Amino acid sequence: MTSIDAYLEKNVHLLPQTNQLRALHTIVRDRDTSREDFVFYAERIIRLLVEAGLDLLPFEPHDVTTPIGATYNGLRFADGLVGVPIIRAGESMEAGLRAVCRGVRIGKVLIQRDKDTKLPKLYYRNLPQDIASRHVLLLDPMLATGGTANAAIQVLLDQGVVEENIVFITFITVPDGIEAVCSRYPRVRIVTSAIEERLNENAYMLPGIGDFGDRFFGTEK
């Protein structure tokens, strides 16, 4: 069993485990849940994750005058955000980000395991030219072994993104995945809604959710 206590304090933002969140998880984890319900309830959790991820970004002071002429000493988002879903499952989180960040820039990366080397390989990337000066919300619902996540983070770093400007938003994860990412990229922050017990021999999380992409996009075999 990996000890991830230090990472939980420093790097990982786990959504508060409220009854409401557990009820949403109960629906999406149920093997008998229809695809329609899976998408609906998964999107509710994704919305919570995106809001928590946005909370980790920098804000700047912004005063406004209220309708009765008083000053409200407020805040506003500092400029420069891009969402980067990892194709394909990460695209399930894109709509949730767009719903709360109107006009947000979106990049894409496609990373898959190379058939020969078995290592994660970058097949496609399309990122804003000025990404180095932006904060990045990297989106992938499943952080399992961490291989894909680490490859995607490296793509961002190679483009000049600052490590502490990366927030990785993932639906569920597991101690091995947290360890894999945080030991290699200790300044990246992770936002998740659940930490599973462990991986099985096929690298699926337990108790888990099954194949998130297949369930979300309706491509179960």
Q: Which of 185, 96, 197 is nearest to 146 (CA)?
A: 185
**Binding flag, residue 107, ligand URA (CB under 6 A):** no
Cα(first)–Cα(last) distance of the chain, in Å? Answer: 32
Choosing from 48, 127, 138, 205, the residue that interacts with ligand URA (CB under 6 A) is 205
Containing H/E element for 182? Answer: helix 175-184
User: Binding ligand URA by CB under 6 A: which of 39, 144, 169, 190?
Assistant: 144
| Per-residue tokens: 148 | 């894909």
> Which range touches ligand URA (CB under 6 A), out of 105-113, 119-127, 158-166, 201-209?
201-209
Would you call 214 a catalytic residue per the annotation?
yes
Under rule CB under 6 A, residue 109 binds ligand URA: no
User: Which of 40, 77, 204, 217 touches ligand URA (CB under 6 A)?
Assistant: 204
Q: Which is nearer to ligand URA, 90 or 208 (CB)?
A: 208
- As given in the structure block, the two tokens for residue 158 are 């190679």
**Closest CB to ligand URA among 144 and 166?**
144
**What are the helix and strand counts (H, E) for the chain?**
7, 13
Work out whether 194 is an interface residue with ligand URA (CB under 6 A). Answer: no
- Counting contacts by CB under 6 A, is residue 151 touching ligand URA? no
- Asked if 142 touches ligand URA (CB under 6 A), the answer is yes
Cβ-contact 120, 151 below 8 angstroms: yes
Q: Which residues contact 76 (CB under 8 A, 6 or more apart)?
A: 59, 60, 62
Considering only 39-47, 71-79, 184-192, 200-208, which stretch makes contact with ligand URA by CB under 6 A?
200-208
Coil, strand, or helix at residue 45?
helix
The CB-of-175 to ligand URA minimum distance in angstroms stands at: 14
DSSP state letters, 186-197: TT-EEEEEEE-S
Looking at residue 101, its amino acid is C
Q: Is the dihedral of CA 64, 67, 71, 75 positive or negative?
A: negative
Among the listed ranges 4-12, 28-36, 67-75, 198-206, the one in contact with ligand URA (CB under 6 A) is 198-206
* Residue 84 C-beta: closest distance to ligand URA, Å: 18
**Which residues sit at the interface with ligand URA, rule CB under 6 A?**
142, 144, 203-205, 208, 211-213
* Residues with a known catalytic role: 113, 117, 211, 214
